[in-house]
Amino acid sequence: MINRGITKSVSFFKIIYCLLAILILYFAFLPVLSVVFSSIFAQGRGISFQDIAHALKYLKNSLIVTIPVTFAATALGTVVAFTLQRLRFRGNQLLKLLALLPLINPPFVGSLAFIMLFGKRGLITNKLLGLTISPYGLAGIITMQVLSLTSLAYILVSSSIKRVDPSLEEAARNLGSSSGRILSTVTLPLMLPEISSTALLVFLASMADFGTPLIIGGNFQTLASDLYIQITGLYDIHMAAVSGLFLLLPCLLAFVVHRYYLHQKYYSSSNIVSENIEFKQMPRPLKAVLTIITMLFTGVVVLKYGFIVIGAFTKQWGYNYSFTLQHLTGALTADLRPFINSIRLALIVALVSAILGVFLAYILKRNQPTAAGIIDFMATLPAAVPGILFGIGYLVTFKHPFLGIGKWVFPDAKPLVLLGTSSIIYFVCIARYLNVGLKSGYALLAHLDPNMEKASYNLGENEVRTFFRVTLPLLKPAFYTTFLKNFSTTMTTLGAIIFLLIPSNKVAVQQIFQRITGSEIGVAAAMGVLLSATSLVLLGIFYLLFNYQEIIKKMRSRGSWD
């Protein structure tokens, strides 16, 4: 009886695994492969030296931006995370909340706020300090990217700080180490793997960012923005393909190096999640410096966001600060369908990518199926590919019938061409964010005691039932985190879908992008605020839904819910 149950369940997981593997091969890996091949063999014209020289020039620009941004944002993010999570000071909780603001970043509008605050005629630089400096160029791009990516780094590093086992620090302290020594020999090394993967993500995000250089780069453009200009302004798809290849290579290189050399093991193996544990005996001057840095950073973030809100509600952002609702009503009376499309896209993408990602993590870790390493690699790969390139990959792959393979089999079959349908943007986003679920799944499974499942088998349950009744409830937290994260990311994503949208399925971000280009900055700011507010409210609702049991418990224990 028991034997039969196990064979049945094994084939159940095998079938699911095969299906997932095919989907991943198809929707995550093939498009990346297509970009590489179409770049090399584009339009039957080889790559000339001139093309390479052009691409190298912009690659150099990209690296000039990305390398300092990666170091600065990762370091600053780590400092902020450490200060907020491990040090106690007045206002700590508030700052924690504020540092999360960029999670719901209204896209592109931030760069505008920056120009109006620090530009040639900016509110702070010119009106307050009397300076006339142009913010356009390298310095502007680096500043903007450091600001937004520090927040990303802060969020990523924070979660790893919580997993550092404070008893190790305690042990070092008992053995007589000074707090500086503990910091440099225990705490930081424990966080190092997470810091290095944070640095990788910051690097990739900075390389892929085309909006910031486009808006405030002036004559300093990076490979990603040059790629966008090549396609939209110069009509030169061939040059774009070569630039794409040069953009892809460093990203893949960083991804592979990190995967196989840096990211060897996590030290945070204990089950303890150390929330709100203070790092004791920090020397006062150091604590003061860290606190000031953190406060300055959150101050700038708040300034930026406050200024965007001001822009949304004043007549002429930058010139006439009298209150008006005209931009908001303008944004609301315009076609609202892009907003609804955005929400629908984010909901479905978050749901599917969270379920599939966490499920796949479970199969790969617990069942150790054939080719687990390869499938994991293919599923994670899209994270390394700049969004705009991943979108182009979809374009070149799925313009052929029968989901791409028809190029060779049924070249004339019209049906099942994914390009030009409204579903293609769902596929591209799910494929791109699946890895988030995979990663959260792994992180959680590392902490889950397999004995729970063994106990279930011993009590006579088969693998499928065990999965659904024991493992699945335990995996819920990973699912929730992925859902929330992917929801907020998808709401503001543009690069991957910009070339795949069709007239009937526009999304809100694209509308904001258009407004900024058309110098309707008031409406753009209002739409940005609206989009952020919508995400914030929905995220709040989801958070309550996912955690309501705990919240009720907490309230009960405080006696305010009886």
Partner 1 sequence: MLKKLISSVLLLILVAALTACTPSSAPDAGLDNSEGNTLWSSEHYDADKMKGLSLNLYGVTDKVRPILDIFEQDTGIRVEHLTMKNGEILQRLENEYEAGVSIADLWFTGGADTFINAAEKGLLTGYQTPAAEVLDADMKDPDGFWHGTSLTLVNWVVNTALIEEKGLKMPEEWNDLLQDGLKDEVSMSNPASSGTAYNVITSVLQTKGEDNGWIYLEELIEQVPFFTARGSDPKNLVVNGEAIVGINASNGDFEVEKEYEHIKIVYPSDGTGWWPQPVAIVKGTQKLDAAKVFVDWLISKRGMQVVAEKRYAAVARGDIEIPEGIVDIKNIELFPADFKAGAQNRESILAEWARRVDK
Residues that bind partner 1 (CB under 8 A): 112, 115-116, 119-121, 134, 136-137, 214, 217-219, 221, 225, 229, 231-235, 237, 316, 318-320, 333-337, 340, 343-344, 347, 395, 399-401, 412, 414, 417, 419-420, 499, 501-504, 506, 510-511, 514-519, 521, 538, 541-542, 544-545, 548-549, 552
Q: Which is nearer to partner 1, 334 or 464 (CB)?
A: 334
In angstroms, the CA 82 to CA 17 distance is: 39
Do strands 320-323 and 314-316 pair parallel, antiparallel, or not at all (unpaired)? Answer: antiparallel
Minimum distance from residue 519 beta carbon to partner 1 (Å): 5
Q: Which amino acid is at 236?
A: D
Q: Which amino acid is at 482?
A: T
Copy the structure tokens of residue 197. Answer: 């993967």
Minimum distance from residue 348 beta carbon to partner 1 (Å): 8
How many distinct helices (H) and strands (E) make up the chain? 23, 2
Q: At what angle do helices 326-333 and 284-313 cross, to 10 degrees?
A: 70
Minimum distance from residue 487 beta carbon to partner 1 (Å): 11
Q: Which is nearer to partner 1, 217 or 250 (CB)?
A: 217
Q: Are 110 and 148 in contact (CB under 8 A)?
A: yes
If 0-12 CB within 10 Å is exposed, 13-18 middle and 19+ buried, where does residue 271 land? exposed
Query: What residues contact residue 10 under an 8 Å CB cut-off, 6+ apart?
Result: 463
Minimum distance from residue 178 beta carbon to partner 1 (Å): 50
Q: Which is nearer to partner 1, 320 or 368 (CB)?
A: 320
In angstroms, the CA 429 to CA 496 distance is: 7
Minimum distance from residue 521 beta carbon to partner 1 (Å): 7
Q: Which is nearer to partner 1, 113 or 364 (CB)?
A: 113
Minimum distance from residue 269 beta carbon to partner 1 (Å): 34
In angstroms, the CA 495 to CA 512 distance is: 13
Minimum distance from residue 513 beta carbon to partner 1 (Å): 9
Q: Are 242 and 52 in contact (CB under 8 A)?
A: yes
Residue with tokens 């520090």: 150
Q: Which is nearer to partner 1, 24 or 141 (CB)?
A: 141
Q: Which is nearer to partner 1, 318 or 382 (CB)?
A: 318
Q: Which is nearer to partner 1, 44 or 176 (CB)?
A: 44
If 0-12 CB within 10 Å is exposed, 13-18 middle and 19+ buried, where does residue 33 land? middle
Minimum distance from residue 316 beta carbon to partner 1 (Å): 6
Minimum distance from residue 447 beta carbon to partner 1 (Å): 26
Q: Are 497 and 451 in contact (CB under 8 A)?
A: no
**8-state DSSP, 405:** G
Q: Which is nearer to partner 1, 181 or 548 (CB)?
A: 548
Which residue from 138, 140, 139, 146 is spatially nearest to 61, judged by alpha carbons? 138
Q: Which is nearer to partner 1, 211 or 441 (CB)?
A: 211
Which residue from 92, 86, 91 is spatially nearest to 279, judged by alpha carbons? 86
Residue with tokens 């063999």: 41
Q: Which amino acid is at 217?
A: G
Query: What residues contact residue 420 under an 8 Å CB cut-off, 6+ apart?
Result: 502
Query: What residues contact residue 415 under an 8 Å CB cut-off, 6+ apart?
Result: 401, 402
Minimum distance from residue 236 beta carbon to partner 1 (Å): 8
Give the sign of the dihedral formed by CA 21, CA 27, CA 29, CA 34: positive
Phi, psi angles (nearest 5°) of residue 413: -75, 120
Q: Are 440 and 496 in contact (CB under 8 A)?
A: no
Considering only CA atoms, give the Rg of the chain.
25
Minimum distance from residue 61 beta carbon to partner 1 (Å): 14
Q: Which is nearer to partner 1, 6 or 555 (CB)?
A: 555
Q: Which is nearer to partner 1, 466 or 488 (CB)?
A: 488
Copy the structure tokens of residue 400. Answer: 């052929």
Q: Give 323's strand partners.
A: 314
Residue 265: count other Cβ atoms within 10 Å of its Cβ. 7
Minimum distance from residue 547 beta carbon to partner 1 (Å): 11
Minimum distance from residue 404 beta carbon to partner 1 (Å): 11
Q: Which is nearer to partner 1, 270 or 514 (CB)?
A: 514
3-state helix, strand, coil in the chain (%, to 5): 75, 0, 25
Minimum distance from residue 216 beta carbon to partner 1 (Å): 10
Q: Which is nearer to partner 1, 223 or 521 (CB)?
A: 521
Query: What residues contact residue 187 under an 8 Å CB cut-off, 6+ apart?
Result: 82, 164, 169, 279
Q: Are 188 and 118 in contact (CB under 8 A)?
A: no
Q: Which is nearer to partner 1, 368 or 519 (CB)?
A: 519
